[in-house]
Structure 1
Amino acid sequence: MKKLTLVATAIMGLLSTSAAMAQSTVTVYGILDAGYNHVSGLRQGSVSTIASGIMEGSRFGLRGSEDIGGGYKAIFTLENRLELDTGSVTNRPNSGTQMPDRVATSVAAGVAGLPLPVATRDAIITSVNTTLATGAFGVNLAGNLFDRQAYVGLVTPVGAFTMGRQYTPGYLVAAQFDASQTQSSLAAGQVASLPAAFDIRLSNTLQYAIQTGGVTALLMYGAGEVAGSNSAGRFWGGMATYKGNGFSVGYGHNGKNNELGQKSLTNDLIGATVDVGPGTLYGQYATIKDDNPTGISSIASSVTTSTGSAAVGAAFQSAYNAAFRQDARLMHIGYRLTTGPHTWVVAFNRLDDKRTVNADTDSYGFTYTYALSKRTNLNAVLTRFNNKGQGQVAPGGNGFLGGVTSSAGVGSTNIALGIRHTF
């Protein structure tokens, strides 16, 4: 952490100097969000913790702009993740590296024809599962300083061009048409978090955005930057929304290739809001499709090395590909009401898994926010997750993953009480 602090201090110094020379503006901003978080249904029983990011992920950021005349403006954003409970920049779910039960079951069925002793097969599955979970089950496991956002760009009379690490178009639509605005365990994406149903942010992206009248639209290209392949890891996405008098509508698309250049996680989302009575009704529908999961292509080589058989390695690779494929529909309906210092949100979410394993999850509940001031508020969350079939998702928060429950079909309840301060 000392090294990260020194780096952050150096960057702030450079930006301050640049601002003075160019007479631009640099804004320091952030969110500090923490509180009591209780989750039931885990392998270790019910767990109560002090957690960071219950409503929104805690963060520290620098945002700058320079008006260079003629309708042009240079901009930048550097935003880091902060775990307020520990001071770290990374976290893991309460379930640790526990894998959903359906993964081991699916892989075992996929390699059932191999001439392997059951004990050997199970040992390979345990080893591979642990390796995958250790590298993927958590937030910012690489410990990147500006994991949330890091980009620079130019605003012009015909739109804004930005490049770096940015939010994806599909996720922006998902957030806009979520009554909870992705806050708390009640957010729609919480039931589709393991494996992740959306790419939230991506590095090495180039984005073009326009805003005119009630229309906001953007296109994004992400370079995979895999040596020897232009298609490996590549991303394309776009979105368009329209905000009218008392309503809004939008569409978003994300499409990514895996590290082998094969078509991987793809999303299409539609959403709408309409003012009803004193509040706003939200709804969205999203498709989740991934026939060639990203980040698991090395399984064949590792299993081949450990067993000495290329055929066994290929069989395990195929079985894991099948286990991590996604084909689901995500639905959300919610209502948001703000009156004076009080904000209420009620919502229902459903992940409908179209695969034969049928890992379905519903969630429903409410959140309440009381504004002590313009910058500080108190929050309460009550969310119930109902897992059906092979569904096994546990509720998390905006800043952390919930992980999985004790076994397939076991539900979970989240109760959280927190305080959030913005600056």
Structure 2
Amino acid sequence: MLAAGLAHAQTNVTIYGIADAGVEFLTNAGGDDDNVFRMSSGNLSGSRIGFRGTEDIGGGLKGVFLLENGFDIDTGALGQNGRLFGRQAYVGLQGDFGAITLGRQQNALYDVIIKYDPMAFASRYSALSHDPLFTGRADNAIKYTGNFGPVIATAFYSFGRNADGEVPGSTKVSRNVGAGVAYASGPFGVGFAYDQFQGNTVATAGDSARRMAVGGSYEMGPVKGFVGYRWLKDELVAAGTPNVRSNMYWVGASWDASPALKLTGVVYHTDRRDSGADPTSLVLSADYALSKRTDVYLTVGHARNKSGSNLGLNGFGSSIIAGENQSGVIAGVRHRF
């Protein structure tokens, strides 16, 4: 009888991860128009190791958990500002209604819009160069995720997206809310997501950064096309600095040239509403699968700055001289386990 009771609740735990490293060459990456040649970690995918588990507790209900660590494979250092499980860390319940989870979790922009970036939010040379908050994460978050046939819905509420939150008497400090919905049927897919977070102090709690994004894709045989748009109003800027208002656009495509070779091209553009500093980046990538788990890749990019903008291929103000253009190339290898 005791053995039967222990066998009733079955727990499944999976260990998984990605190791991604390469070498990168960038132009105009120093104060004197210097170039840089370096090793880089997490180029197509952030290097990580994770633990995922489920337990069937009966009545169609499951207990679930996920612990996901991010790290730099070139140095072994922890990612996400030194967090042990900085990519995700949550526990919750899952059933026919969907899943409710609690902990550090991805925002709705990450969950929904990643499907509509041709570079799939690659750590380098992707939509993240124009807006890193596409892969935002929030501490102290309650999240709902539901799958209803062709529709996926998500919503979350964070009591404090970072260590500054959960302040007694001021529930707005570092609060983060968001929601998203996606629809996919046959070759067509479309998604919408919203994200808003408040300032990190009592004085700035009334100010917010708000983002809305929509993306779409259409597949025609081996070719898949992508379009996307993101709106931003950011009041959380330095005192005396105007609020940031910008629109971001992208269009691109991927082509399965063979069962092993995938080619991708995309153009990203940011339109600042308060200035003419409107940068554009172009990315071309080739990914070749050596096996189901290991692939090699080559990514080439060019960032064109205008009116003093400082977009680098790895982000605004990142390894770039303001007003200069930047070209770069990354060659690397990725292994999934």
What TM-score do you get using the length of structure 2 for normalisation? 0.90
Secondary structure, counterpart of 1:340 in structure 2? coil
1:33 corresponds to which letter in structure 2? D
The 5-angstrom pairing of residues 12-411 of structure 1 reads 23-44=10-31, 45-90=34-79, 140-141=80-81, 143-193=82-132, 197-198=133-134, 200-224=136-160, 225-259=166-200, 260-293=204-237, 318-319=239-240, 322=241, 325-338=243-256, 339-356=258-275, 358-396=276-314, 403-411=317-325
Q: Higher strand fraction: Structure 1 or Structure 2?
A: 2
Which secondary structure state, in structure 2, belongs to the residue aligned with residue 366 of structure 1? strand
Alpha-carbon distance in 2 for matches of 1:407, 1:46: 11
Report how far residue 188 of structure 1 moved. Answer: 1.6
Asked if structure 2 preserves the Cα contact closer than 8 Å seen for 1:24 and 1:64, the reply is yes
Output the CA distance in 2 between the equivalents of 1:386 and 1:192.
Answer: 16
Q: Which amino acid aligns with 2:270?
A: L
CA contact (8 A) 2:92 2:99 kept: yes
Residue 389 (structure 1) shift: 1.2
- Report how far residue 177 of structure 1 moved: 0.8
Distance change in 2, residues 1:58/1:387 (3 Å) = same
> CA offsets per residue over residues 376-420 of structure 1, 9 Å max, x none?
000100010111112102112xxxx67435432111111000000
Q: Describe the shift of the 1:23–1:65 C-alpha distance in structure 2 as closer, same or farther (beyond 3 A).
A: same
Identify if the C-alpha distance between structure 1 residues 21 and 416 changes in structure 2 by more than 3 Å, giving closer, same or farther. farther
Q: Which SS does the other structure have where 1:414 is aligned? A: strand
Query: 1:199 offset after TM fit, Å?
Result: 6.1
CA offsets 1:230-269 (integer angstroms, 9 cap, x no match):
1121111100000011100111100111123223111111
Q: Which amino acid aligns with 2:190?
A: V
Instruction: Give the Cα separation in 1 of the matches to 2:135 and 2:175.
Output: 12
The secondary structure found in structure 2 opposite 1:64 is: strand
Q: Residue 181 of structure 1: SS of its match in structure 2?
A: coil
Q: Return the index of the structure with the highest Cα Rg.
A: 1
Structure 1: distance between partners of 2:101 and 2:296:
35
CA RMSD of aligned residues (A): 1.9
| Native 8 Å contact 1:371 1:377 kept in 2 | yes
Distance in 2 between the 1:65 and 1:201 partners?
22
The structure richer in helix per residue is 1
* Partner Cα distance (1:405, 1:23) in 2: 50
The runs of at least 4 aligned residues of structure 1 exceeding 4 Å deviation read 19-22
Once residues 78 and 347 of structure 1 are traced to their aligned partners in structure 2, the CA distance between those partners, rounded to angstroms, is: 32
How many pairs align?
Answer: 321
Aligned to 1:11: none
Structure 2 distance, partners of 1:289, 1:409, is: 23
Q: Give CA-to-partner distance per residue, 1:185-234, whole Å, 9 cap, x none.
A: 331221234xxx54611111101111011000011111121232011211
Question: Any idea what SS the aligned residue of 2:312 has?
Answer: coil
Contact 2:90–2:104 (Cα < 8 Å) also in 1? yes
Q: 1:198 to 1:181 in 2, by over 3 A?
A: closer
Percent identity, aligned pairs only?
A: 32
SS of the equivalent of 1:318 reads coil
Q: Counterpart of 2:239 in 1: which secondary structure?
A: helix
Contact 1:198 1:267 in 2 (8 A): no
Higher relative contact order (CA 8 A, sep 6+): 1
Q: Matched residue of 2:305: which SS?
A: strand
- 1:414 aligned to which of 323, 328, 335: 328
Instruction: Report SS of the residue matched to 1:229.
Output: coil
Query: Residues 176 and 331 of structure 1: is their aligned pair in 2 closer, same or farther, counting only changes over 3 Å?
Result: same
Q: TM-score, normalised by structure 1?
A: 0.72
The structural deviation recorded for 1:344 is 0.7
**Deviation larger for 57-66 or 181-190:** 181-190
> How far is 1:277 from its partner?
4.5
Give the match for residue 163 of structure 2. Answer: none
Q: Evaluate the alpha carbon distance shift between residue 165 and residue 355 of structure 1 in structure 2; reply closer, same or farther with a 3 A threshold.
A: same
Q: Secondary structure at the match of 1:170?
A: helix
In structure 2, what is the Cα distance between the partners aligned to 1:229 and 1:418? 47
Q: Which residue of 2 aligns with 1:304?
A: none
CA positional deviation for 1:76: 0.6
CA contact (8 A) 1:192 1:351 kept: no
Matched-pair contact (CA < 8 Å) for 1:364–1:385: yes
